[in-house]
Amino acid sequence: MKNKAIFLDRDGVINKVVMRKGIVSSPWRLEEFEILPNVKECLKEFKKMEFLNIVFTSQPDISRGLLKIEDLGEMHKFIMETLLVDGIKFCPHDDKNNCNCRKPKPGLLLEAAKKWSIDLKKSYVIGDTWKDIGAGKAAGCKTILIRREYNKDFQKDYDFEVNNLEETVEIIKNSNKK
């Protein structure tokens, strides 16, 4: 029997984004990394519904020389020690690398599905950008967009729209009853 998963984008879903000169950015050091409210409780609820919790994240600042792989490792170790997360998949590339793991391509989700024997059609992607939603759609997952001030103009094709992670718990509970 295959597993089902909740794929959570990292920045803007699990942790606060960092604003640099008015532009949304990822944290570059553990000191900047701050888990958003109620994330821990939501991940517990997903586990109760028998989902794997997998974080998937694009981190192009590695290839841009702005984020050290060691610092990324510290942040991901913190996530694994603090939250009920089964795994983390990340892409260190920039758009110019044209890799299969850079969102909106589904490479990270496909890798996770293979590694953890996940049925993507019974899984959800929760994200805050069109690239997260695009990766989820390309992989065949249901998609949930968390509205943020920086994505208010996003009008692409997603299955559900919410204001916070807590609202995703109810959507997923109700969807699984069917």
Q: What is the 3-state secondary structure of 47-89?
A: HHCCEEEEEEEECCCCCCCCCCHHHHHHHHHHHHHHCCCCEEE
Indicate the domain borders of the chain. Answer: 4-177
Is the model's pTM score more than 0.85? yes
Active-site residue flag, 153: no
Asked if 143 and 159 count as a contact pair (C-beta separation under 8 A), the reply is yes
As a whole number, mean pLDDT of residues 133-142 equals 96
Q: Using DSSP bridges, classify how beta strands 142-146 and 124-127 pair: parallel, antiparallel or unpaired.
A: parallel
pLDDT at 178: 56
Q: CA-CA-CA-CA torsion for 33, 83, 85, 162, nearest 10 degrees? A: -70
Percent of the chain with pLDDT over 70: 98
Provide the residue type at 100 as one letter: N
Q: For position 57, what pLDDT does the model report?
A: 97
CB 45 within 8 A of CB 166: no
When mean pLDDT is compared across 24-38, 145-159, 164-178, the lowest value belongs to 145-159
Angle, helix 107-116 to helix 130-139, in steps of 10 degrees: 50
The answer to whether 11 is a known catalytic residue is yes
Measured CA to CA, the distance from residue 58 to residue 167 in angstroms comes to 24
Which class in CATH covers the domain with range 4-177?
A: alpha beta
Per residue in 89-135, pLDDT tens? 999 999 888 899 999 999 999 999 999 999 999 999 999 999 999 99
